[in-house]
Amino acid sequence: MRQVALLRGVNVGAAGKGRKAVPMAELRALCERLGWRDVASYIQSGNVAFTAKGDAAKLEQQLERAISERFGFDVPVVVRATTTLAKAEATCPFKGEAEARPNLVHIGFAKGKVSAAMAKAVMPYCTSGERVLVKGQVIWADYANGVGRSKLTPAVLDRAFGASVTMRNIKTLRAVLEL
């Protein structure tokens, strides 16, 4: 089954230099050593597509352990089947916004269960037209005026959803699905 691993909080820019650096070439090689096939990454994005058997939780644990052993730090990893990601993308509640500004509409996944009630906890942090919705186990955020100025930080999302949350913009999601 075709899967995607989404890494949270790694430094993938500038040839992977700096804190929590994970160069994509090394990440792909690491995934291949786990026995995963057809491994591909999208630019320096912290996203890896691959073919492997096993449930998402087991694959997450394998990659988290391998990253910790190889790089010496912990990285939360979320694995989803490409079919799951494609279905989620098709149900985007911000379709018009996603087409107009695909870098500012994000899809997110938590390492735990999420509920629509949890999205209410981030509402006080939403400014300048930002919105957060939950559809099933998918978190959607419209960063209307840019992620850099937003108060919807990773730490705020983690607290609200009670688990590590990793977000990707629609442009990146679509590119990863093409891998």
- Could you list the beta-strand ranges (E) of the chain: 2-7, 37-41, 47-51, 77-81, 105-110, 131-135, 138-142, 165-169
- Per-residue model confidence (pLDDT) at position 44: 73
Q: Are residues 76 and 20 in the same domain?
A: yes
> Coil, strand or helix: which one is 100?
helix
- List the CATH number of the domain containing 170: 3.30.70
Q: How far apart are CA 49 and CA 3, in angstroms?
A: 6
Among candidate residues 57, 83, 109, the one where a domain is terminated: 83
Can you give the pLDDT at residue 58? 96
Tokens of 129: 């037209």
What's the confidence (pLDDT) of residue 21?
79
Q: What is the pTM of this model?
A: 0.90
Mark whether 26 and 77 lie in a shared domain. yes
Residue 27: its pLDDT value, please?
92
The pLDDT value recorded for residue 12 is 56
Same domain, 124 and 151: yes
Q: In this structure, what CATH number is given to the domain that contains residue 23? A: 3.30.70.1280
Q: What's the total number of domains in the chain?
A: 2
Within this chain, do residues 110 and 46 fall inside the same structural domain, yes or no?
no
Q: Which structural domain range is residue 152 located in?
A: 91-177
> Do residues 167 and 98 share a domain?
yes
Ranges under pLDDT 70 in the chain: 11-18
Task: Return the pLDDT at 163.
Answer: 93
Residue ending a domain, choose from 83, 108, 134: 83
Instruction: Output the pLDDT for position 9.
Output: 76
Residue 43 pLDDT: 78
